[in-house]
């Protein structure tokens, strides 16, 4: 595991975009695992800039997203499909037919999970998985649990997660109660993991995930077993790691 400290959010975003861009340059038909949330927004902005400058070509890339709220249509402005269109897809040349997310409106949830697993398998697997992290250590929507769920599954969102995401909705009641998420097994199968964290609200989760015991109670802690993890975080997010481990 490599930890890079970013000077600020802009620096974090630039470093992350440079790594993703290197992946696409080295392997133009890379499969990128993408994430939503506020953390990667700056990274997507940087990728759009690199694309506009002509430094990056996504025409052979495939993308698979981590998760999607159940019950929201792709046109709902809080759906993750909408987020991806708005922040990345509509600005770059990723082929529409090769950008995948779970379908929030799928009538049969179990069938949708199976379909999404097959989609990911068919891509040949994720080369680079971008991750944020929840304040409770969740990755994608893999919430703290009794066990690690391997494949795409439907989760009941914790109150904590719904409260954290309520800032994007007009009321807490509007935040969906369930979501589809890629499983921990699929995330761990990615060849490279790039996890971003900023702000002191992520400090505990980051410390517990990378320096605490490996437990499904802290879903990101499983990443300690992955052989190629890059963490980019700002100082506030790294403060507990610094305190416990000294300077990095």
Closest distance of CB 9 from ligand GLP, Å? 11
By CB under 6 A, name the one of 102, 104, 134, 176 that touches ligand GLP: 134
- Annotated active-site residue 153? The verdict is no
**Residue 142, token pair as written in the block:** 């893999």
Nearest to 65 by CA among 202, 190, 150, 168: 190
Task: Answer whether 198's CB lies under 8 Å from 168's CB.
Answer: no
Tell me which residues in 166-225 interact with ligand GLP (CB under 6 A).
none
Among 12, 47, 94, 133, indicate the residue that binds ligand GLP (CB under 6 A): 133
Catalytic-residue membership of 143: yes
Distance of closest approach, residue 54 Cβ to ligand GLP, in angstroms = 29
Q: Which is nearer to ligand GLP, 112 or 245 (CB)?
A: 112
Three-class SS of 52-111:
HCCCCCCCCCEEEECEEECCCCCCCCCCHHHHHHHHCHHHCCCCHHHEECCCCCCCCHHH
E strand or H helix at 192:
strand 192-197
Q: Which residue in 5, 127, 143, 208 is the catalytic one? A: 143
Nearest approach, Cβ of residue 89 and ligand GLP (Å)? 17
- Residue 46 carries which DSSP code? H
Taking the complex as a whole, how short is the minimal distance between the CB of residue 209 and ligand GLP, in angstroms?
12
Asked if 87 interacts with ligand GLP (CB under 6 A), we say no
Q: Which 12-41 positions form the footprint of ligand GLP (CB under 6 A)?
A: 35-39
Active-site residue, selected from the candidate residues 138, 142, 165, 208: 138
**According to the binding rule CB under 6 A, does residue 132 interact with ligand GLP?**
yes
Residue 34 half-sphere exposure toward CB, CA atoms < 13 A:
31
Asked about 138 being catalytic, the answer comes back as yes
Burial class (CB in 10 A: 0-12, 13-18, 19+), 146: exposed
Catalytic machinery residues: 67, 136, 138, 143
Binding interface with ligand GLP (CB under 6 A): 35-39, 66-67, 132-134, 140-141, 161, 165
């Amino acid at each position: 595991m490599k930890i890079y400290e970013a000077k600020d959010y802009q620096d974090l975003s630039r470093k992350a975009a440079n790594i993703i861009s290197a992946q696409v340059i080295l392997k133009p038909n890379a499969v990128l695992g993408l994430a939503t949330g506020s953390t990667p927004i700056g990274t997507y902005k940087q990728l759009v800039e690199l694309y506009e400058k002509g430094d990056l070509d996504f025409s052979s890339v495939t993308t698979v997203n981590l998760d999607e709220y159940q019950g929201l249509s792709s046109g709902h402005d809080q759906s993750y499909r909408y987020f991806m269109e708005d922040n990345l897809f509509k600005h770059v040349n990723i082929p529409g037919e090769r950008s995948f997310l779970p379908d929030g409106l799928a009538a049969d949830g179990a069938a949708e999970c199976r379909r999404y697993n097959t989609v990911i398998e068919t891509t040949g697997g994720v080369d680079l998985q971008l991750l944020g992290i929840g304040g409770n250590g969740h990755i994608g929507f893999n919430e703290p649990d009794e066990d690690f769920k391997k494949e795409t599954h439907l989760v009941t969102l914790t109150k904590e997660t719904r409260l954290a995401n309520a800032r994007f909705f007009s009321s807490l009641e509007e935040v969906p109660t369930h979501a589809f998420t890629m499983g921990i097994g699929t995330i761990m199968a990615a060849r490279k993991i790039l996890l971003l964290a900023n702000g002191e609200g992520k400090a505990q989760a980051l410390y517990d995930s990378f320096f605490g015991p490996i437990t499904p109670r802290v879903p990101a802690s499983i990443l300690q077993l992955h052989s190629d993890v890059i963490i980019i975080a700002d100082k506030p997010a790294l403060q507990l790691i610094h305190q416990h481990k000294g300077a990095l």
